Structure 1
Protein backbone atom coordinates (compact mmCIF):
# COMPACT_ATOMS: atom_id res chain seq x y z
CA UNK A 1 0.00 0.00 0.00
CA UNK A 2 1.40 3.37 -0.98
CA UNK A 3 0.71 6.36 1.29
CA UNK A 4 0.69 10.10 0.78
CA UNK A 5 0.59 12.78 3.48
CA UNK A 6 -0.62 16.19 2.34
CA UNK A 7 -0.33 14.86 -1.24
CA UNK A 8 3.34 13.93 -0.94
CA UNK A 9 4.72 10.36 -0.58
CA UNK A 10 5.12 9.51 3.12
CA UNK A 11 5.73 6.64 5.50
CA UNK A 12 5.04 8.36 8.86
CA UNK A 13 2.81 10.84 10.66
CA UNK A 14 3.24 12.99 13.77
CA UNK A 15 2.74 10.94 16.95
CA UNK A 16 0.73 13.85 18.38
CA UNK A 17 -1.82 13.77 15.55
CA UNK A 18 -5.35 14.07 16.96
CA UNK A 19 -6.52 11.33 14.64
CA UNK A 20 -4.42 8.90 16.67
CA UNK A 21 -5.18 10.42 20.06
CA UNK A 22 -8.94 10.93 19.75
CA UNK A 23 -10.09 9.63 16.38
CA UNK A 24 -10.53 13.31 15.51
CA UNK A 25 -11.10 12.89 11.80
CA UNK A 26 -12.98 11.34 8.93
CA UNK A 27 -12.27 8.75 6.25
CA UNK A 28 -13.54 7.60 2.87
CA UNK A 29 -12.88 4.41 0.90
CA UNK A 30 -13.17 4.75 -2.86
CA UNK A 31 -12.69 2.58 -5.94
CA UNK A 32 -11.63 3.51 -9.46
CA UNK A 33 -11.91 1.56 -12.70
CA UNK A 34 -10.53 2.59 -16.07
CA UNK A 35 -9.51 5.92 -14.60
CA UNK A 36 -12.99 6.76 -13.26
CA UNK A 37 -13.65 7.03 -9.52
CA UNK A 38 -17.05 5.61 -8.59
CA UNK A 39 -19.39 8.07 -6.88
CA UNK A 40 -16.62 10.63 -6.32
CA UNK A 41 -19.09 13.48 -5.85
CA UNK A 42 -20.97 11.51 -3.18
CA UNK A 43 -17.76 10.79 -1.28
CA UNK A 44 -16.71 14.44 -1.40
CA UNK A 45 -20.17 15.60 -0.31
CA UNK A 46 -20.09 13.26 2.70
CA UNK A 47 -16.63 14.55 3.61
CA UNK A 48 -17.90 18.13 3.47
CA UNK A 49 -20.88 17.24 5.69
CA UNK A 50 -18.48 15.64 8.13
CA UNK A 51 -16.20 18.68 8.14
CA UNK A 52 -19.13 20.92 9.04
CA UNK A 53 -20.37 18.54 11.75
CA UNK A 54 -16.94 18.25 13.39
CA UNK A 55 -16.12 21.93 13.04
CA UNK A 56 -13.31 21.40 10.52
CA UNK A 57 -12.85 24.75 8.78
CA UNK A 58 -11.56 23.26 5.54
CA UNK A 59 -11.21 25.58 2.57
CA UNK A 60 -13.05 24.48 -0.57
CA UNK A 61 -9.77 24.68 -2.48
CA UNK A 62 -8.42 21.79 -0.39
CA UNK A 63 -11.35 19.58 -1.37
CA UNK A 64 -10.79 20.49 -5.02
CA UNK A 65 -7.11 19.63 -4.56
CA UNK A 66 -8.04 16.23 -3.09
CA UNK A 67 -10.40 15.48 -5.98
CA UNK A 68 -7.73 16.40 -8.51
CA UNK A 69 -5.09 14.31 -6.78
CA UNK A 70 -7.34 11.25 -6.64
CA UNK A 71 -8.35 11.65 -10.28
CA UNK A 72 -4.72 11.99 -11.38
CA UNK A 73 -3.74 8.85 -9.49
CA UNK A 74 -6.77 6.90 -10.77
CA UNK A 75 -5.76 7.70 -14.35
CA UNK A 76 -2.52 5.77 -13.83
CA UNK A 77 -4.20 2.41 -13.15
CA UNK A 78 -6.75 0.07 -14.70
CA UNK A 79 -8.27 -0.32 -11.23
CA UNK A 80 -7.24 0.95 -7.80
CA UNK A 81 -8.66 1.56 -4.33
CA UNK A 82 -8.16 4.66 -2.18
CA UNK A 83 -8.31 5.14 1.59
CA UNK A 84 -8.63 8.85 2.39
CA UNK A 85 -8.30 10.11 5.95
CA UNK A 86 -8.48 13.73 7.08
CA UNK A 87 -7.53 14.50 10.68
CA UNK A 88 -7.42 17.77 12.58
CA UNK A 89 -3.65 17.37 12.82
CA UNK A 90 -1.67 18.13 15.98
CA UNK A 91 -2.33 20.74 18.63
CA UNK A 92 -4.87 21.83 21.17
CA UNK A 93 -5.05 20.96 24.85
CA UNK A 94 -6.57 17.59 25.57
CA UNK A 95 -9.92 17.29 23.87
CA UNK A 96 -10.02 21.02 23.06
CA UNK A 97 -8.92 21.47 19.43
CA UNK A 98 -6.53 24.23 18.38
CA UNK A 99 -8.12 27.49 17.29
CA UNK A 100 -6.43 27.10 13.89
CA UNK A 101 -6.03 23.51 12.75
CA UNK A 102 -3.22 22.14 10.60
CA UNK A 103 -5.13 19.35 8.87
CA UNK A 104 -3.48 16.08 7.88
CA UNK A 105 -4.59 14.76 4.51
CA UNK A 106 -3.72 11.07 4.14
CA UNK A 107 -4.30 9.03 1.00
CA UNK A 108 -3.51 5.34 0.72
CA UNK A 109 -3.64 3.41 -2.55
CA UNK A 110 -4.25 -0.35 -2.70
CA UNK A 111 -5.18 -3.18 -5.05
CA UNK A 112 -8.92 -3.71 -5.17
CA UNK A 113 -10.28 -7.02 -3.80
CA UNK A 114 -12.00 -9.27 -6.34
CA UNK A 115 -15.72 -9.32 -5.54
CA UNK A 116 -16.85 -10.87 -8.83
CA UNK A 117 -17.76 -14.24 -7.29
CA UNK A 118 -19.69 -12.62 -4.44
CA UNK A 119 -21.51 -10.34 -6.87
CA UNK A 120 -22.67 -13.21 -9.09
CA UNK A 121 -23.14 -16.02 -6.57
CA UNK A 122 -24.18 -14.06 -3.47
CA UNK A 123 -22.95 -14.03 0.12
CA UNK A 124 -23.85 -15.39 3.55
CA UNK A 125 -25.14 -13.10 6.30
CA UNK A 126 -25.65 -13.49 10.04
CA UNK A 127 -26.41 -11.27 13.05
CA UNK A 128 -23.97 -10.23 15.80
CA UNK A 129 -24.64 -8.91 19.33
CA UNK A 130 -22.22 -5.95 18.98
CA UNK A 131 -24.31 -2.80 19.34
CA UNK A 132 -23.90 0.31 17.23
CA UNK A 133 -23.78 3.54 19.24
CA UNK A 134 -26.82 5.81 19.28
CA UNK A 135 -25.48 9.34 18.79
CA UNK A 136 -27.17 11.88 16.54
CA UNK A 137 -24.09 14.12 16.68
CA UNK A 138 -21.98 11.66 14.71
CA UNK A 139 -24.60 9.45 13.03
CA UNK A 140 -24.11 9.03 9.30
CA UNK A 141 -20.45 10.10 9.31
CA UNK A 142 -17.43 7.94 8.49
CA UNK A 143 -15.50 9.19 11.50
CA UNK A 144 -12.33 7.54 12.78
CA UNK A 145 -13.96 5.98 15.87
CA UNK A 146 -14.71 2.48 14.50
CA UNK A 147 -14.07 0.21 17.50
CA UNK A 148 -17.58 -1.28 17.29
CA UNK A 149 -16.80 -2.46 13.77
CA UNK A 150 -13.41 -3.81 14.85
CA UNK A 151 -15.08 -5.84 17.62
CA UNK A 152 -17.74 -7.12 15.25
CA UNK A 153 -15.25 -8.12 12.57
CA UNK A 154 -13.34 -10.21 15.11
CA UNK A 155 -16.57 -11.97 16.11
CA UNK A 156 -17.72 -12.80 12.57
CA UNK A 157 -18.14 -16.61 12.47
CA UNK A 158 -16.25 -18.67 9.91
CA UNK A 159 -18.26 -19.18 6.76
CA UNK A 160 -20.09 -15.86 6.92
CA UNK A 161 -19.24 -12.92 4.69
CA UNK A 162 -21.04 -10.22 6.69
CA UNK A 163 -23.20 -9.62 9.76
CA UNK A 164 -26.05 -7.30 10.69
CA UNK A 165 -25.56 -4.99 13.68
CA UNK A 166 -28.36 -3.47 15.75
CA UNK A 167 -28.47 -0.57 18.20
CA UNK A 168 -29.22 -0.70 21.95
CA UNK A 169 -32.95 -0.66 21.18
CA UNK A 170 -32.66 -3.79 19.05
CA UNK A 171 -33.24 -1.94 15.77
CA UNK A 172 -31.18 -2.94 12.74
CA UNK A 173 -28.68 -0.30 11.63
CA UNK A 174 -26.15 -1.70 9.16
CA UNK A 175 -23.62 -4.47 8.66
CA UNK A 176 -20.00 -4.52 9.81
CA UNK A 177 -18.78 -2.76 6.67
CA UNK A 178 -21.88 -2.49 4.50
CA UNK A 179 -25.35 -0.99 4.38
CA UNK A 180 -28.39 -3.26 4.43
CA UNK A 181 -31.45 -3.54 2.16
CA UNK A 182 -34.29 -6.04 1.99
CA UNK A 183 -37.43 -6.60 -0.08
CA UNK A 184 -40.86 -7.73 1.06
CA UNK A 185 -43.90 -8.00 -1.23
CA UNK A 186 -42.14 -5.99 -3.92
CA UNK A 187 -41.22 -3.10 -1.61
CA UNK A 188 -37.66 -2.05 -0.84
CA UNK A 189 -36.57 -1.31 2.75
CA UNK A 190 -33.42 -0.03 4.47
CA UNK A 191 -32.72 0.98 8.09
CA UNK A 192 -33.08 4.55 9.34
CA UNK A 193 -29.64 6.03 10.04
CA UNK A 194 -30.52 9.33 11.76
CA UNK A 195 -29.11 8.22 15.13
CA UNK A 196 -26.57 5.53 14.27
CA UNK A 197 -24.58 4.01 11.44
CA UNK A 198 -22.91 5.27 8.25
CA UNK A 199 -24.77 6.81 5.34
CA UNK A 200 -22.93 4.93 2.62
CA UNK A 201 -22.36 6.31 -0.86
CA UNK A 202 -23.63 3.09 -2.48
CA UNK A 203 -26.67 3.22 -0.19
CA UNK A 204 -27.35 6.71 -1.52
CA UNK A 205 -26.84 5.57 -5.12
CA UNK A 206 -29.28 2.66 -4.66
CA UNK A 207 -31.94 4.91 -3.12
CA UNK A 208 -31.59 7.32 -6.05
CA UNK A 209 -31.61 4.55 -8.67
CA UNK A 210 -34.62 2.61 -7.38
CA UNK A 211 -37.70 3.27 -9.49
CA UNK A 212 -40.13 2.84 -6.60
CA UNK A 213 -40.38 4.05 -3.02
CA UNK A 214 -37.57 3.14 -0.61
CA UNK A 215 -39.00 2.60 2.87
CA UNK A 216 -36.53 3.89 5.49
CA UNK A 217 -37.57 2.16 8.69
CA UNK A 218 -36.68 1.01 12.20
CA UNK A 219 -37.12 -2.77 12.41
CA UNK A 220 -35.63 -5.58 14.48
CA UNK A 221 -33.70 -8.53 13.12
CA UNK A 222 -36.78 -10.78 12.94
CA UNK A 223 -37.90 -8.73 9.94
CA UNK A 224 -35.27 -10.47 7.82
CA UNK A 225 -36.63 -13.93 8.66
CA UNK A 226 -39.33 -13.66 5.98
CA UNK A 227 -37.78 -11.13 3.59
CA UNK A 228 -38.11 -12.02 -0.10
CA UNK A 229 -34.70 -10.53 -0.95
CA UNK A 230 -31.75 -9.25 1.06
CA UNK A 231 -28.70 -7.45 -0.28
CA UNK A 232 -25.88 -5.32 1.07
CA UNK A 233 -23.97 -2.39 -0.42
CA UNK A 234 -20.44 -1.10 -0.07
CA UNK A 235 -18.30 1.40 -2.00
CA UNK A 236 -15.80 -1.28 -3.04
CA UNK A 237 -18.04 -4.32 -3.55
CA UNK A 238 -21.08 -2.55 -4.98
CA UNK A 239 -24.30 -4.54 -4.52
CA UNK A 240 -23.96 -8.05 -3.08
CA UNK A 241 -27.02 -10.33 -2.95
CA UNK A 242 -27.55 -12.39 0.20
CA UNK A 243 -28.25 -16.06 -0.57
CA UNK A 244 -28.00 -17.29 3.03
CA UNK A 245 -29.22 -15.54 6.17
CA UNK A 246 -28.26 -17.69 9.16
CA UNK A 247 -29.79 -21.08 8.27
CA UNK A 248 -32.21 -19.71 5.68
CA UNK A 249 -31.50 -19.85 1.95
CA UNK A 250 -32.61 -17.09 -0.42
CA UNK A 251 -32.45 -16.44 -4.14
CA UNK A 252 -30.97 -13.46 -5.92
CA UNK A 253 -34.12 -11.42 -6.46
CA UNK A 254 -35.34 -9.23 -9.32
CA UNK A 255 -35.00 -5.92 -7.47
CA UNK A 256 -31.38 -6.64 -6.58
CA UNK A 257 -30.65 -7.66 -10.17
CA UNK A 258 -32.33 -4.62 -11.70
CA UNK A 259 -30.60 -2.18 -9.35
CA UNK A 260 -27.21 -3.67 -10.06
CA UNK A 261 -27.81 -3.55 -13.82
CA UNK A 262 -29.05 0.03 -13.63
CA UNK A 263 -26.07 1.22 -11.58
CA UNK A 264 -23.50 -0.65 -13.66
CA UNK A 265 -24.96 0.84 -16.82
CA UNK A 266 -24.75 4.31 -15.27
CA UNK A 267 -21.10 3.62 -14.32
CA UNK A 268 -21.82 4.12 -10.63
CA UNK A 269 -20.37 0.71 -9.74
CA UNK A 270 -18.09 -1.75 -11.44
Structure 2
Protein backbone atom coordinates (compact mmCIF):
# COMPACT_ATOMS: atom_id res chain seq x y z
CA UNK A 1 0.00 0.00 0.00
CA UNK A 2 1.64 3.23 -1.22
CA UNK A 3 5.00 1.45 -1.32
CA UNK A 4 4.74 -0.36 2.05
CA UNK A 5 3.90 -3.96 2.88
CA UNK A 6 0.82 -4.04 5.10
CA UNK A 7 -1.28 -6.94 6.32
CA UNK A 8 -4.62 -6.83 4.53
CA UNK A 9 -6.60 -6.63 7.78
CA UNK A 10 -4.54 -3.61 8.85
CA UNK A 11 -4.66 -1.65 5.59
CA UNK A 12 -6.58 1.59 5.90
CA UNK A 13 -7.40 4.55 3.69
CA UNK A 14 -8.15 8.13 4.81
CA UNK A 15 -11.79 9.07 5.33
CA UNK A 16 -11.43 11.75 2.64
CA UNK A 17 -10.09 9.38 -0.03
CA UNK A 18 -11.86 10.17 -3.31
CA UNK A 19 -11.74 6.57 -4.48
CA UNK A 20 -13.79 5.52 -1.45
CA UNK A 21 -16.12 8.52 -1.48
CA UNK A 22 -16.64 9.05 -5.22
CA UNK A 23 -15.29 6.03 -7.10
CA UNK A 24 -12.55 8.34 -8.38
CA UNK A 25 -10.07 5.65 -9.29
CA UNK A 26 -8.89 3.04 -11.72
CA UNK A 27 -7.67 -0.54 -11.51
CA UNK A 28 -6.17 -3.48 -13.36
CA UNK A 29 -6.47 -7.19 -12.57
CA UNK A 30 -3.49 -9.21 -13.80
CA UNK A 31 -3.16 -12.97 -14.06
CA UNK A 32 -0.24 -14.57 -12.23
CA UNK A 33 1.29 -17.79 -13.59
CA UNK A 34 4.60 -19.44 -12.71
CA UNK A 35 5.22 -16.57 -10.32
CA UNK A 36 5.12 -13.98 -13.09
CA UNK A 37 2.71 -11.21 -14.11
CA UNK A 38 1.08 -12.18 -17.40
CA UNK A 39 0.72 -9.57 -20.17
CA UNK A 40 1.92 -6.91 -17.73
CA UNK A 41 2.99 -4.48 -20.47
CA UNK A 42 -0.49 -4.54 -21.99
CA UNK A 43 -2.14 -3.95 -18.63
CA UNK A 44 0.17 -1.05 -17.83
CA UNK A 45 -0.44 0.50 -21.26
CA UNK A 46 -4.20 0.39 -20.68
CA UNK A 47 -3.71 1.75 -17.17
CA UNK A 48 -1.64 4.63 -18.53
CA UNK A 49 -4.37 5.55 -21.01
CA UNK A 50 -6.96 5.50 -18.25
CA UNK A 51 -4.87 7.65 -15.90
CA UNK A 52 -4.39 10.19 -18.66
CA UNK A 53 -8.11 10.22 -19.46
CA UNK A 54 -9.00 10.81 -15.81
CA UNK A 55 -6.39 13.61 -15.51
CA UNK A 56 -4.47 11.87 -12.77
CA UNK A 57 -1.00 13.15 -11.89
CA UNK A 58 1.95 11.28 -13.37
CA UNK A 59 2.59 7.93 -11.66
CA UNK A 60 5.93 6.18 -12.14
CA UNK A 61 4.91 2.87 -13.67
CA UNK A 62 8.28 1.19 -13.22
CA UNK A 63 7.92 1.71 -9.47
CA UNK A 64 4.41 0.22 -9.56
CA UNK A 65 5.61 -2.84 -11.45
CA UNK A 66 8.50 -3.19 -9.00
CA UNK A 67 6.04 -3.16 -6.09
CA UNK A 68 3.83 -5.74 -7.82
CA UNK A 69 6.75 -8.09 -8.38
CA UNK A 70 7.95 -7.58 -4.80
CA UNK A 71 4.48 -8.46 -3.46
CA UNK A 72 4.40 -11.67 -5.51
CA UNK A 73 7.73 -12.64 -4.00
CA UNK A 74 6.70 -11.62 -0.48
CA UNK A 75 3.53 -13.74 -0.70
CA UNK A 76 5.26 -16.59 -2.56
CA UNK A 77 2.51 -16.27 -5.17
CA UNK A 78 2.93 -18.73 -8.04
CA UNK A 79 -0.51 -18.57 -9.59
CA UNK A 80 -3.62 -16.51 -9.08
CA UNK A 81 -4.51 -12.88 -9.62
CA UNK A 82 -3.05 -9.51 -8.66
CA UNK A 83 -5.09 -6.33 -8.49
CA UNK A 84 -3.65 -2.84 -8.67
CA UNK A 85 -6.08 -0.13 -7.55
CA UNK A 86 -5.24 3.58 -7.79
CA UNK A 87 -7.31 6.36 -6.21
CA UNK A 88 -6.84 10.04 -6.93
CA UNK A 89 -6.23 10.30 -3.19
CA UNK A 90 -7.53 12.63 -0.51
CA UNK A 91 -9.44 15.76 -1.35
CA UNK A 92 -11.82 18.39 0.00
CA UNK A 93 -15.57 17.91 0.04
CA UNK A 94 -17.16 18.20 -3.40
CA UNK A 95 -16.51 16.84 -6.88
CA UNK A 96 -13.68 19.06 -8.08
CA UNK A 97 -10.33 17.31 -7.58
CA UNK A 98 -7.64 19.06 -5.54
CA UNK A 99 -5.19 21.11 -7.56
CA UNK A 100 -2.27 18.99 -6.36
CA UNK A 101 -3.65 15.47 -6.03
CA UNK A 102 -1.56 12.75 -4.41
CA UNK A 103 -2.82 9.33 -5.56
CA UNK A 104 -3.09 6.35 -3.23
CA UNK A 105 -2.51 2.83 -4.53
CA UNK A 106 -3.13 -0.63 -3.18
CA UNK A 107 -1.78 -3.89 -4.64
CA UNK A 108 -3.36 -7.15 -3.52
CA UNK A 109 -2.88 -10.79 -4.48
CA UNK A 110 -5.59 -13.41 -4.61
CA UNK A 111 -5.74 -17.15 -5.11
CA UNK A 112 -6.91 -18.39 -8.49
CA UNK A 113 -10.64 -17.69 -8.51
CA UNK A 114 -13.04 -20.60 -8.77
CA UNK A 115 -14.61 -20.06 -12.17
CA UNK A 116 -17.72 -21.78 -13.45
CA UNK A 117 -17.41 -24.26 -16.28
CA UNK A 118 -20.27 -22.48 -18.04
CA UNK A 119 -22.63 -19.61 -17.33
CA UNK A 120 -26.19 -18.57 -18.06
CA UNK A 121 -26.65 -15.00 -19.24
CA UNK A 122 -29.57 -12.70 -18.65
CA UNK A 123 -29.85 -9.37 -20.43
CA UNK A 124 -29.44 -6.31 -18.26
CA UNK A 125 -32.62 -4.22 -18.14
CA UNK A 126 -30.69 -0.97 -18.66
CA UNK A 127 -28.20 -0.18 -21.44
CA UNK A 128 -24.50 0.50 -21.28
CA UNK A 129 -23.55 4.05 -22.21
CA UNK A 130 -21.25 3.25 -25.12
CA UNK A 131 -20.78 6.97 -25.85
CA UNK A 132 -19.22 7.67 -22.47
CA UNK A 133 -15.41 8.04 -22.49
CA UNK A 134 -15.42 5.89 -19.35
CA UNK A 135 -16.66 2.88 -21.32
CA UNK A 136 -13.12 2.00 -22.36
CA UNK A 137 -11.35 2.14 -18.97
CA UNK A 138 -11.52 0.07 -15.79
CA UNK A 139 -12.64 2.74 -13.35
CA UNK A 140 -13.61 1.85 -9.80
CA UNK A 141 -17.34 2.55 -10.06
CA UNK A 142 -18.86 -0.79 -11.03
CA UNK A 143 -22.37 -0.12 -9.70
CA UNK A 144 -24.11 -0.77 -13.06
CA UNK A 145 -22.38 -4.17 -13.33
CA UNK A 146 -23.11 -5.00 -9.69
CA UNK A 147 -26.79 -4.13 -10.10
CA UNK A 148 -27.00 -6.18 -13.31
CA UNK A 149 -25.41 -9.18 -11.54
CA UNK A 150 -27.84 -8.87 -8.63
CA UNK A 151 -30.85 -8.75 -10.92
CA UNK A 152 -29.52 -11.65 -13.02
CA UNK A 153 -29.12 -13.77 -9.89
CA UNK A 154 -32.69 -12.99 -8.82
CA UNK A 155 -33.83 -14.44 -12.16
CA UNK A 156 -31.70 -17.58 -11.84
CA UNK A 157 -28.85 -16.47 -14.13
CA UNK A 158 -25.12 -16.24 -13.46
CA UNK A 159 -24.27 -13.01 -15.26
CA UNK A 160 -25.78 -10.29 -17.40
CA UNK A 161 -25.23 -9.16 -20.96
CA UNK A 162 -25.16 -5.43 -21.57
CA UNK A 163 -26.65 -3.95 -24.72
CA UNK A 164 -25.92 -0.35 -25.63
CA UNK A 165 -28.57 2.31 -26.14
CA UNK A 166 -28.82 1.35 -29.83
CA UNK A 167 -29.53 -2.30 -29.03
CA UNK A 168 -26.12 -3.72 -29.90
CA UNK A 169 -24.18 -6.09 -27.66
CA UNK A 170 -21.48 -4.40 -25.58
CA UNK A 171 -20.12 -6.93 -23.06
CA UNK A 172 -20.97 -8.93 -19.96
CA UNK A 173 -20.68 -7.45 -16.47
CA UNK A 174 -16.93 -8.07 -16.22
CA UNK A 175 -15.88 -9.81 -19.43
CA UNK A 176 -15.81 -9.46 -23.18
CA UNK A 177 -18.05 -11.46 -25.50
CA UNK A 178 -16.48 -13.83 -28.04
CA UNK A 179 -18.95 -15.60 -30.36
CA UNK A 180 -18.57 -18.31 -32.98
CA UNK A 181 -20.58 -18.25 -36.22
CA UNK A 182 -19.62 -21.14 -38.46
CA UNK A 183 -15.83 -21.02 -38.50
CA UNK A 184 -15.61 -17.31 -37.67
CA UNK A 185 -14.97 -15.80 -34.24
CA UNK A 186 -16.33 -12.30 -33.67
CA UNK A 187 -16.46 -9.83 -30.79
CA UNK A 188 -18.36 -6.56 -30.39
CA UNK A 189 -16.32 -3.47 -31.32
CA UNK A 190 -15.15 -0.96 -28.73
CA UNK A 191 -17.45 1.61 -30.38
CA UNK A 192 -20.43 -0.51 -29.26
CA UNK A 193 -19.33 -0.38 -25.61
CA UNK A 194 -16.87 -3.26 -25.31
CA UNK A 195 -13.95 -2.75 -22.97
CA UNK A 196 -10.66 -3.17 -24.87
CA UNK A 197 -9.85 -6.35 -22.97
CA UNK A 198 -6.36 -7.83 -22.91
CA UNK A 199 -7.31 -11.34 -24.09
CA UNK A 200 -9.74 -9.88 -26.63
CA UNK A 201 -6.96 -7.69 -28.02
CA UNK A 202 -4.57 -10.61 -28.43
CA UNK A 203 -7.17 -12.59 -30.39
CA UNK A 204 -7.74 -9.62 -32.68
CA UNK A 205 -4.01 -9.02 -33.21
CA UNK A 206 -3.48 -12.64 -34.30
CA UNK A 207 -6.50 -12.44 -36.64
CA UNK A 208 -8.15 -15.24 -34.68
CA UNK A 209 -11.15 -12.99 -34.15
CA UNK A 210 -12.71 -9.95 -35.84
CA UNK A 211 -14.96 -7.14 -34.68
CA UNK A 212 -18.63 -7.12 -35.63
CA UNK A 213 -21.70 -5.39 -34.26
CA UNK A 214 -24.11 -7.96 -32.84
CA UNK A 215 -27.63 -7.97 -31.49
CA UNK A 216 -28.98 -10.29 -28.82
CA UNK A 217 -30.88 -12.11 -31.56
CA UNK A 218 -27.59 -12.68 -33.39
CA UNK A 219 -26.05 -14.20 -30.29
CA UNK A 220 -29.07 -16.43 -29.73
CA UNK A 221 -28.19 -18.39 -32.90
CA UNK A 222 -24.40 -18.44 -32.39
CA UNK A 223 -22.55 -21.75 -32.61
CA UNK A 224 -20.78 -20.97 -29.31
CA UNK A 225 -20.27 -18.00 -26.98
CA UNK A 226 -17.54 -17.33 -24.43
CA UNK A 227 -16.88 -14.75 -21.77
CA UNK A 228 -13.28 -13.61 -22.12
CA UNK A 229 -11.14 -11.90 -19.46
CA UNK A 230 -7.53 -11.73 -18.35
CA UNK A 231 -8.19 -14.63 -15.98
CA UNK A 232 -9.96 -17.12 -18.21
CA UNK A 233 -12.40 -18.15 -20.91
CA UNK A 234 -15.83 -19.39 -19.84
CA UNK A 235 -18.49 -20.95 -22.07
CA UNK A 236 -22.02 -19.54 -22.17
CA UNK A 237 -24.63 -22.29 -21.97
CA UNK A 238 -27.75 -20.10 -22.15
CA UNK A 239 -28.66 -16.62 -23.28
CA UNK A 240 -32.00 -15.93 -21.64
CA UNK A 241 -34.05 -19.00 -22.51
CA UNK A 242 -31.96 -19.89 -25.59
CA UNK A 243 -29.57 -22.80 -25.20
CA UNK A 244 -26.18 -22.10 -26.77
CA UNK A 245 -24.10 -24.94 -28.28
CA UNK A 246 -20.67 -25.62 -26.77
CA UNK A 247 -17.42 -26.18 -28.66
CA UNK A 248 -15.00 -27.76 -26.21
CA UNK A 249 -12.30 -28.34 -28.82
CA UNK A 250 -12.11 -24.70 -29.87
CA UNK A 251 -12.30 -23.58 -26.25
CA UNK A 252 -9.25 -25.71 -25.40
CA UNK A 253 -7.37 -24.24 -28.35
CA UNK A 254 -8.23 -20.67 -27.41
CA UNK A 255 -7.40 -21.28 -23.75
CA UNK A 256 -4.02 -22.72 -24.67
CA UNK A 257 -3.26 -19.73 -26.88
CA UNK A 258 -4.32 -17.17 -24.29
CA UNK A 259 -3.14 -18.79 -21.09
CA UNK A 260 -0.64 -21.48 -22.06
Shorter-chain TM-score bucket reads 0.7 to 0.9
Question: How many positions carry a matched residue from both structures?
Answer: 253
**Which residue of structure 1 lines up, in the alignment, with residue 70 of structure 2?**
72
Structure 1 residue 235 and structure 2 residue 233: aligned? Answer: no
Deviates more, 1:186-195 or 1:171-180: 186-195
Which consecutive residues of structure 2, in runs of 5 or more, have no partner in the other structure? none
Structure 1 residue 226 and structure 2 residue 224: aligned? Answer: no
Aligned to 1:250, which of 225, 234, 245? 245
User: Structure 1's 123 and 137: CA in aligned 2 closer, same or farther, altered over 3 A?
Assistant: closer
Pairing 1:101-250 to 2, within 5 Å after superposition: 101-115=101-115, 118=117, 122-157=118-153, 160-194=157-191, 196-211=193-208, 214-236=209-231, 238-247=232-241, 248-250=243-245
Q: Which runs of 4+ in 1 moved over 6 A?
A: none
Q: TM-score, normalised by structure 2?
A: 0.87
Task: Tell whether the 8 Å contact from 2:168 to 2:214 is kept in structure 1 after alignment.
Answer: yes
User: Structure 1's 24 and 249: CA in aligned 2 closer, same or farther, altered over 3 A?
Assistant: closer
Q: CA deviation at 1:210?
A: 4.2
Q: CA deviation at 1:5?
A: 4.0
Helix, strand or coil at the partner of 2:77: coil
Q: CA deviation at 1:140?
A: 0.8
Q: TM-score, normalised by structure 1?
A: 0.84
- Root-mean-square deviation over aligned CA pairs: 2.2
Residue-by-residue CA offset, 1:192-218 (whole Å, 9 max, x unaligned)? 22363422222222323444xx33232
Deviates more, 1:239-248 or 1:171-180: 239-248
2 CA distance for matches of 1:167 and 1:20? 28
Task: Tell whether the 8 Å contact from 2:29 to 2:81 is kept in structure 1 after alignment.
Answer: yes
Q: CA deviation at 1:179?
A: 0.7
2 CA distance for matches of 1:246 and 1:257? 25
Deviates more, 1:70-79 or 1:98-107: 70-79
More strand by share: 1
2 CA distance for matches of 1:186 and 1:88? 45
2 CA distance for matches of 1:47 and 1:96? 22
Task: Tell whether the 8 Å contact from 2:221 to 2:244 is kept in structure 1 after alignment.
Answer: no
Ranked by relative contact order (alpha carbons within 8 Å, sequence separation 6 or more), the top structure is 1
